[in-house]
Amino acid sequence: MASVTFDKVTRRFASGGRPAVDSLDLEIEDGEFMVLLGPSGCGKSTCLRLLAGLEDVDAGSIHIGVRDVTHLPPRERDVAMVFQNYSLYPHLSAADNMGFPLRIAGMPRQHARGRVRFAASLLDVERYLRRGPRTLSGGERQRVATGRTLVRDPRVCLMDEPLSNLDARLRVETRGRIVRTQHHLGITTVYVTHDQTEAMAMGDRLAVLRDGVLQQVGRPREVFARPANTFVAGFVGSPAMNLFRLRPSPDGVSLGGLDVPLPRSVLRAAAAEGADEVVLGVRPEGFDVLAPQDRTTPGLDLVVDAVEDTGAVVHLHTSAPWAPRLGDLVVRLPGRATHSRGEPVRVALRTDAVHCFSAVTGTRYVYP
């Protein structure tokens, strides 16, 4: 196994415009499961292709371990890639598909069979080894494709949105199997996805990209709890963080009539930027619904526009008609739905749930 280093890596395409990957600095530890996360077109798949040698680096360098692989052809990098479309040979059995790279490498048949059986046992596809790809479900095909990658025992495993073609149940089942297998084998893995729920569930660390630029790197809980800027705050988390542009007062801001005190350090930083607004962020779970008869606790009066009942939790999509600048506001509640569309609701804000960002740069202010 090996670590991976992107050192100020840049990739520009002939069409011009902004770089697809812009001066990327990223360290991936030996045996780590790193997830590259971002919206479509952010450059995450290009990063994977640069690491695999399928795209040329225009500036910077890439190292696998201590070896500079920036200009090496793909076959000399000892990486393996799992694609979104599985790429299984339809005329071969699952076992032969998994063992194909070993056959090409000239590995003795008995040794290759042992490798295939071991990978199949980890991925729970042993009972499908004699079957052809057409007789397998999407999740089974994906696990066979993953097994074909793992039998090679590569230094680095690359996965480009491998679960995007699966239904919700199979996605959860297969991602759990992939994570357990990766942890068992300890293969350094770089996984690309635009699904932040998938990223949070699978990654040892996340690298969030936007327009080819790295926004933040950290453990899933760190990125969720302390987003580096408004983009990360709005992208990581489901539903997204509520973000409000508010004019500060000497003591804080007013959120739809609810006074929210802010630290002096935040107010001074905003003033130093010459900003007449700050961006206040509150995740949906940062609100508590107050009892209708509770008029003593400071709260925000809202109207329920829609109720999203997922079973375990409920998301209330609300607005404040008397404060239209606030826009939509999502409140997360545990348990079953007890509110209806059009119903008034009053919520309190947890002071420890507040995030503050610059209205000028979008970056996070230092905040307790």
3-state secondary structure of 313: strand
pLDDT exceeds cutoff 90 at 362: yes
pLDDT digits (tens, 9 = 90+) for 186-225: 999 999 999 988 999 999 999 999 999 999 999 999 999 9
Mean pLDDT of the chain: 90
Q: Where along the chain do the CATH 3.40.50.300 domains lie?
A: 4-235
Q: Where along the chain do the CATH 2.40.50.140 domains lie?
A: 242-358
CATH architecture of 242-358: Beta Barrel (2.40)
Q: Which comes out higher in pLDDT, residue 13 or 338? A: 13
Residue-level pLDDT at 167: 80
Q: How confident is the model at residue 367 (pLDDT cuts 50, 70, 90)?
A: low
Q: How far is CA 196 from CA 38, 118, 154, 315, in A?
A: 8, 31, 27, 18
Q: If one looks up domain 4-235 in CATH, what number appears? A: 3.40.50.300
Shortest CA distance to 209 belongs to which of 222, 196, 221? Answer: 196
pLDDT digits (tens, 9 = 90+) for 277-318: 999 999 999 999 998 788 788 889 999 999 998 888 899 999
Does residue 47 come out as left (phi exceeding 0), alpha (psi in the -120 to 50 range) or beta?
alpha
Residue-level pLDDT at 214: 98
pLDDT exceeds cutoff 70 at 368: no
pLDDT digits (tens, 9 = 90+) for 96-117: 999 988 888 888 988 889 989 9
Residue-level pLDDT at 361: 95
pLDDT exceeds cutoff 80 at 366: no
